[in-house]
């Protein structure tokens, strides 16, 4: 997921990285030697450097400077983010995303709304299913060892933390990046645009969703470099 998302990085941009799967975008950028081609930021305040993940999320190694968090959000709210990579807990056929409420559990939305509403491009990153999903890469192909028990692409999300309808109305570019498929939000709904090598579109993507995504022509195969051990060569 991190490798596919990193392919969307472009030079001379300001990037926000959220917690979870987006943390790996920083690791891939550093591995590929392009971390200093753009400015990676985290909502806690670091500007530049290499954002950390896991229990160290919120800090960055070799940051250029640190803002107070309220100042960082002034910058975000003012449209300072070019590319935002956020987590993906639930998504639906309208392109809505939920990261804030699941049954009786209220996680809250944090800075999710500020960041997604004001970024010029948004990429939601996460596994395709949840609850026991296990995968492996074999001979350059993705293998689903154990499918997750819970679907994350639903007919309708439990709570709207990001509005797909609003994003589409203002032509905000939005992508949903998972380990096996990539989706894109357009004016008339969510389109399946890419699928990982080794994955069957019908049985391992569409049949595991709560809705049928739109398809425009032929679904592309995800870049094969993602599924190799060596670096992808993004610096070139």
* C-alpha span between 111 and 83 (Å, rounded): 15
189 by DSSP, 3-state: which?
A: strand
Residues near 115 by beta carbon (within 8 Å), at least 6 away in sequence = 16, 18, 43, 76, 81, 84, 86
Whether 193 contacts 201, CB under 8 Å: no
Query: How long a stretch of residues is the chain?
Result: 236
* C-alpha span between 214 and 115 (Å, rounded): 27
* C-alpha span between 148 and 152 (Å, rounded): 9
Q: Examine the residue annotation and report whether 212 is marked as an active-site residue of this protein.
A: no
Strand partners, 17: 85
- State the catalytic residue, choosing from 23, 32, 43, 179: 43
* C-alpha span between 80 and 222 (Å, rounded): 30
The tokens for 119 are 């970024």
Positions marked catalytic: 43
């Amino acid at each position: 997921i991190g490798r596919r998302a990193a392919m969307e990085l472009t030079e001379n941009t300001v990037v926000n990285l959220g917690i979870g799967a987006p943390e790996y975008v920083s690791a891939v950028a550093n591995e590929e030697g392009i971390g200093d081609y753009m400015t990676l930021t985290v909502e806690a305040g670091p500007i530049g450097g290499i954002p950390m993940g896991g229990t160290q999320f919120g800090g960055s190694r070799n940051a250029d400077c640190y803002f107070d968090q309220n100042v960082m959000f002034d910058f975000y709210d003012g449209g300072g983010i070019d590319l935002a990579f956020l987590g993906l807990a639930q998504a639906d056929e309208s392109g809505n995303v939920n990261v804030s409420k699941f049954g009786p559990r209220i996680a809250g939305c944090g800075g999710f709304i500020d960041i997604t509403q004001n970024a010029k491009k948004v990429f939601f990153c996460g596994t395709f299913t949840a609850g026991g999903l296990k995968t492996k890469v074999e001979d350059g192909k993705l293998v689903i060892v154990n499918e997750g028990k819970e679907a994350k692409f639903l007919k309708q999300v439990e709570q709207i933390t990001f509005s797909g309808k609003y994003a589409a109305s203002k032509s905000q570019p939005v992508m949903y990046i998972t380990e096996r498929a990539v989706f894109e939000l357009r004016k008339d709904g969510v389109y399946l645009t890419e699928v990982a090598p080794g994955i069957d579109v019908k049985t391992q993507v569409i049949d595991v969703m709560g809705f049928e995504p739109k398809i425009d022509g032929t679904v592309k195969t995800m870049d094969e470099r993602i599924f190799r051990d060596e670096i992808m060569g993004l610096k070139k």
